[in-house]
Structure 1
């Protein structure tokens, strides 16, 4: 609500002033009391609660109408290519994607969210398109700032939350800094980061590849180099070929909501 790069409200008072002028102000008072705005602290708390309940309860926020959802329910089959992509996605010795982006149903049958909500440091290249990055001393270090100020442990620097991959095929920016603009390019970086670093990172004044260049040098040790497929060395073969990348991208497209089940149902 208060991030200058997002909703950019100055403070809770500014937000509540907007709410009182909004078309839904009367409805807000119906739900939380006619005098709710007389207590700014309570009004702000209830506003956040309303958003929380919407995200949890309203079907439009999580329709789960993708081909993969219908596949889990036995209503449609995946193609051979989609199944190949899923196998590559799941393979712990290969893409190892499912270790963070869980694709198995829950014990109660709930469909997967495709995230474990943990935090990872992947060393994504610096994005020159961002105005703040024109300052070479500026670094977005995720959990440890500069936007967050509640973490002081340097081991958290460079860590960002593993996002859900639902609807990933419909996105136009990928990773925390929006460095990549196509799904296949994001996948390609993921498996070639260490085998072909010169493809993703610039060279410094001495001609050396400036790997993990979107973090201060002292904090680059936080980047994951122990989990597959982030363990490779320059010159080694990436765990995925171009065909594999195509297959994984096709599988991820099955996570897009709005699949036309009626014309594709299992006979």
Structure 2
């Protein structure tokens, strides 16, 4: 795999490791917000036990997803306390900058926001969530987080230069500034290089294989698949900077991840109602809906679905295909060898979208998987090879 090249910090003496260890050398030049955000993104001192950073669950070496097994085959993330497990899969932070603010569209659909349920409007809101989440980074309060920031002299100088000399007199403001600078880092090209085989194909720099081309044709077809109904943002196939999500919300009938639930302590009978967990939503018709994820780097950011219930990308395509196939074999989950489990939330399933298009044979399923592999950023291509 190609080495990940991060933003060049302007100080030769100030490295990421220096930040993590609490370096206090005075810089010769003030950092930009993105450079400050980069340091904060990797700083384990912003977790209660000083063991976990943003990059722990959003690793730049793994498509900005969580590469750890965590005792649950990577389905959900382990917290800073060493034993708490979440109930949702950590979504990739790559290309997250393109999700619009959470909104109810003119046609009555919810769209955008951050997290699986859109509960934060933007990247700053998302960045501010994990540090004080008790089962994630576990900091007791924003005030104590601001005090941790002040342990680092370099941070003190940068924050005051970028956000005002009195920034640390208000812990809420200091915390917001921290989130704002992390968001600035997440808006850099590192998170969205648009240099996959697909992007290079659009620029005439890569020739798709016969299988990849079939997958591309099927993906954007209005007749043979339903993929692009949700995983296409631009108005026409082949548009540059396509993020492969319309950022809307759907219940596609995902089953409970019972294996993870046996370990993470979630009460028996609990149902993750998705979008209805968003404080801005009170419509029962939104229960069980989750934001359509980007397909960028999908081949290297498994496991899949909001709860990490599926391990393999081909399983995901087969899961969608079960809605259109009468073949008994297509009603079997290849990972368990048993029938697909019932949806966790049986109401509000997007059957109109899911049941459109014919059933797919193995050749077409494999072609779609091959096409999705072409959406892998160039630096991860070796990791995504089978």
Aligned: 1:38 with 2:191: no
Q: Does 1:211 align with 2:342?
A: yes
Distance 1:161 1:170 in 2: 19
Instruction: Give me the TM-score of the superposition, normalised by structure 1.
Output: 0.78
> Is the alpha carbon distance of 1:180 and 1:209 closer, same or farther for their aligned partners in structure 2, counting shifts above 3 Å?
closer
Q: 8 Å contact 2:233–2:243 — kept in the other structure? A: yes
After superposition, give the CA deviation of every residue in 1:54-110 in whole Å (9 maximum; x if it has no partner): 222x11111122111111112222111111001111223332211211175889x64
Distance 1:194 1:47, change over 3 A: same
In the alignment, which residue of structure 2 is the partner of 1:250?
370
User: TM-score normalised to the size of structure 2?
Assistant: 0.55
SS of 2:217's equivalent in the other structure is helix
In the TM superposition, 1:101-112 aligns within 5 A as 101-102=231-232, 104=234, 110-112=240-242
Tell me, yes or no, if the aligned pair for 2:218 and 2:368 is still in contact at 8 Å: yes
Match of 1:224 in 2: 350
Q: Which residue of 2 aligns with 1:62?
A: 192
Return the alpha-carbon distance in structure 1 between the equivalents of residues 300 and 162 of structure 2.
Answer: 35
8 Å Cα contact 2:252-2:350 kept in structure 1: yes
Distance in 1 (alpha carbons) for counterparts of 2:162 and 2:223: 52
The residue that corresponds to 2:270 in the other structure is: 138
1:78 aligns with: 208
State whether residues 324 and 356 of structure 2, in contact with CA within 8 Å, keep that contact through their aligned partners in structure 1: yes
Which 5+ residue runs of structure 1 have no aligned equivalent? Answer: 201-207, 233-237, 262-267
Q: 1:20 to 1:140 in 2, by over 3 A?
A: farther
Residues 173 and 14 from structure 1, CA distance in 2 versus in 1: closer, same or farther, beyond 3 angstroms? farther
Q: Determine whether 1:199 maps to 2:332.
A: yes
Instruction: Pick closer, same or farther for the CA change 1:174–1:210 going to 2, 3 Å.
Output: closer
Structure 1 pair 35–120 and aligned structure 2 pair: CA distance change class (3 A):
same
TM-aligned CA distance change 1:223 to 1:105, over 3 Å: closer
Note if 1:156 corresponds to 2:286.
yes
Of 301, 315, 319 in structure 2, the residue corresponding to residue 189 of structure 1 is 319
How far apart are the structure 2 equivalents of 1:84 and 1:153? Answer: 40
The runs of 5 or more residues in structure 2 that have no matched partner are 1-128, 334-338, 382-386
Residues 82 and 231 (structure 1), Cα distance of their counterparts in 2 relative to 1, 3 Å cut: closer
Q: 1:120 to 1:185 in 2, by over 3 A?
A: same
The Cα of 1:166 is off from its aligned counterpart by: 0.4
Q: Describe the SS at the equivalent of 2:258.
A: coil
| Alpha-carbon offset, residue 239 of structure 1 | 1.7
- Aligned residues, how many? 239
Question: Relative to 1, partners in 2 of residues 1:260 and 1:90: Cα closer, same or farther, differing over 3 Å?
Answer: same
Deviation at 1:182, TM superposition (A): 0.9
Q: 2:222 aligns with which of 87, 92, 96?
A: 92
Deviations 1:10-36 (A, max 9, x none): 442243233333575232333223321
Q: Tell me how large the CA RMSD over aligned residues is.
A: 3.0
Relative to structure 2, which stretch is displaced further, 25-34 or 250-259? 25-34
CA shift in 2, pair 1:150/1:104, >3 Å: closer
Distance 1:260 1:194 in 2: 33
Once residues 309 and 380 of structure 2 are traced to their aligned partners in structure 1, the CA distance between those partners, rounded to angstroms, is 32
Q: Kindly indicate whether structure 1 or structure 2 has the higher relative contact order, using CA contacts under 8 Å at least 6 residues apart.
A: 1
